[in-house]
Structure 1
Amino acid sequence: MITDSVRIGVLVPLTQPGWAEAGEHLLAGLELAIRDVNNDGGRPLELVVRDTAADPQRAEAAVDELADLGVAALAGEYHSVVARAAAARADSRGLPFLCSSAVLDALTDDPTDWVARLAPPQSRGWQIYADFLLSAGHTRIAVAAQASVYWASGTRILRDYLASRGGTLIEVDPEAVCDELVDNRATALLLLVGHPDPALSIVQAVRGDHRLGEVLIGAPAGQPEFAEWATPDTAGIPFLRYLPERLTPLGDRVETTLREQLGRAPSFVAFEGYDTIAVLADMLRSPGKDWSHVAVEGTRGKIHFSRMPGISVWQWARPPIQVVDRDPAEPDRFRVLGTG
């Protein structure tokens, strides 16, 4: 009987300045899937976990280390800028990498057959978010953004998409948000900044300003998905998450197990983690199978990959996308505001 395990290298943010809660959920999904796959028999799979701490250079070093250890594939990562660094290094090492959760369209500079992604491209998700804003009557939309490739990409996507539909995107200083919202007559403010600071201080300032009582605050990147945002101050902030209206039967079972394991409802990132292993198990146990031949029933639907215009990696073409917020009357309850 074959007992040697097939090792999968895992990249997750588990310590600051990484979003450790996202890393915890991602790893929980990955580990549950490994247990399920191994319980089904066949050559066992094993995770070799490395903490990226949201550091691109640390991720590159981890890819090299894992490649030298002989892992068969790489999985994971939440932060887009970190995933981009890891994807480039995986491509250069000729190591398959299934990116679980990062969304930057340009995950690699050039087309590659070594990298695939489960999360939707940022352009698709953020355009759906822009449609939600426009349908709610918001045409003058402000953005408070910190310096980052990810935030800059999101700002560009929103500006171009809104302009083509009669909307206006206004960049405001995160340190002078309230006055600039008033001066620019903005009806919505999008937070493209870190949490808890300066995101929380901006929310408190805007909601404490009597001039801005009707201003919608949004966070398209999805941070309010996590328990750290489950407070009265941060409820009612629409964001993107990647879940369907109904999970698959597999997803229902996974949701129950992860809820017990985490002690709270699993985020969409946990489901991305589970689906990552479901795909890699199918590939690694089928010699010669590549991304183009994947057809796996995941927690959120049937997963298969294709080439998409402007996307350099193999992409799950239609992952589910929702615009949701936390109910101000019950912050632990999510309200679906739109889908795409």
Structure 2
Amino acid sequence: MNTPPSPPGAERTDGSSVQIGALVPLTRPGWVDAGRHLLAGLELAVRDVNDAGGIAGRPLELVVRDTAADPQRAAAAVDELARLGVAAVAGEYHSVVARTAAARADALGLPFLCSSAVLDELTEQPTRWVARLAPAQSHGWQIYADFLLGAGHSRIAVAADSSVYWASGTRILRDHLAPRGGTVIELDMRALTPAAVCDELVGNRATALLLLVGHPEPAVSIVTSVRRDRRLAEITIGAPAGQPESAEWARSLGDDGAAIPFLRYLPERLGPLGARVETALRERLAEEPSFVAFEGYDTITVLADVLRSHGVDRARIAESWPHVAVEGTRGRIRFSRTPGISVWQWAWPPIHVADRDPAQPDRFRILHAG
């Protein structure tokens, strides 16, 4: 008698591994540093899960695919991972890429736990298949706007590339700042050189410049130009998307990269689990782990808990999101339906505004807690 094959994601009892697909930007034009940290967190958590007995005695295995910040490449990877029979997909850093991956996972009925992307509308319609650990952009960037107002900034320029993510960030800042007396001045980086940005800042009497641009370029060139312009000695440069946390940022800019506030999705002080994971991540990365590495670790922690309690059937995994209650490296993780957010959302991870200390650029200072 011929037995029909089990559908993808169905329960298996043959001792084979439980597979999770991982979407990670590992090559340019993706933000490679972020991808490296995300993967380090994912891999460390898989190791810890397997050291603790795996999933009902079965080893957990990552099937990694490089998205290279390419939405179409990510969509193709989701299709491939679904065919391979992974129980769920995890990861991704870039919001525009994660949005495409989420839409594809939703269409295929494949659970996707997004680690790092923050775009509010990760899917066009509410979906039961997708959950997210990172805070929504509107939540984090409003905290950043409050920090700017508290620091006395009311004329804020944004040097912005063209993308849905940067346009969304600009809109969030404007909508939050305008009722509070703040003005957002848009500088289109498709038309301006870094030197021209300096002239625009002087002409518009801006007291703060936010980098809503790619890293390393044109972000590094803009920072260098502004730092060298004597007319702008008092201006504050900011980067809400988190570029200054990268070790590559510090290597590229040295002292010029300090005192540039950014959003960091970490508590002011890590608990015992977070501190242990921080030590292990530092050994694995040979540098200070970014918040993205913790997001990776927490992603696997959540999925391992779900797989242990609900099995590897995809529909059961998706049904489990509202029942998750897991201790992560940055606090207790629960998912809920949040107004304006189309996916199951952890509301909210800890957030603070930090920068690199000018007196010691490899040290981070907390400037404002959300």
TM range (shorter): over 0.9
- Whole-Å Cα distance in 2 between the matches of residues 117 and 99 of structure 1? 5
Unmatched runs of 5 consecutive residues or more in structure 2: 1-12, 311-315
1:339 aligns with 2:369: yes
1:21 maps to: 33
Q: Which range moved further: 300-309 or 289-298?
A: 289-298
Q: Which range moved further: 41-50 or 76-85?
A: 41-50
Deviations 1:107-145 (A, max 9, x none): 000000000000000000000000000000000000110
1:291 aligns with 2:321: yes
Of 14, 18, 21, which aligns to 1:6? 18
Q: Percentage identity across aligned positions?
A: 78
The aligned runs of 1:266-305 (5 Å cut-off) are 266-287=289-310, 288=316, 290-305=320-335
- Whole-Å Cα distance in 1 between the matches of residues 249 and 44 of structure 2? 25
What TM-score comes out, normalization by structure 2 length?
0.90
- Cα RMSD after superposing both structures: 1.0
2:73 maps to: 58
2:357 maps to: 327
1:195 maps to: 215
1:235 maps to: 258
Deviations 1:165-185 (A, max 9, x none): 110000124422111111111
- Any conservation in 2 of the 1:144–1:173 contact (CA below 8 Å)? yes
1:258 aligns with 2:258: no
Deviations 1:44-73 (A, max 9, x none): 211000000000000000000000001000
- Whole-Å Cα distance in 2 between the matches of residues 159 and 215 of structure 1? 19
Q: CA deviation at 1:2?
A: 5.4
1:97 aligns with 2:112: yes
Alignment length (residue pairs): 340
- Whole-Å Cα distance in 2 between the matches of residues 7 and 228 of structure 1? 32
The aligned runs of 1:69-80 (5 Å cut-off) are 69-80=84-95
Displaced runs of 4+ in structure 1, greater than 3 A? Answer: none
1:238 partner amino acid: P
2:340 maps to: 310
Q: CA deviation at 1:297?
A: 0.3
- Any conservation in 2 of the 1:173–1:180 contact (CA below 8 Å)? no
Of 56, 61, 67, which aligns to 1:46? 61
- Whole-Å Cα distance in 2 between the matches of residues 5 and 236 of structure 1? 46
- Whole-Å Cα distance in 2 between the matches of residues 12 and 198 of structure 1? 22
2:263 partner amino acid: L
1:165 aligns with 2:165: no
Of 205, 214, 219, which aligns to 2:239? 219
What TM-score comes out, normalization by structure 1 length?
0.98
Of the two, which has the highest radius of gyration? 2
Of 171, 177, 189, which aligns to 2:197? 177
- Whole-Å Cα distance in 2 between the matches of residues 91 and 14 of structure 1? 24
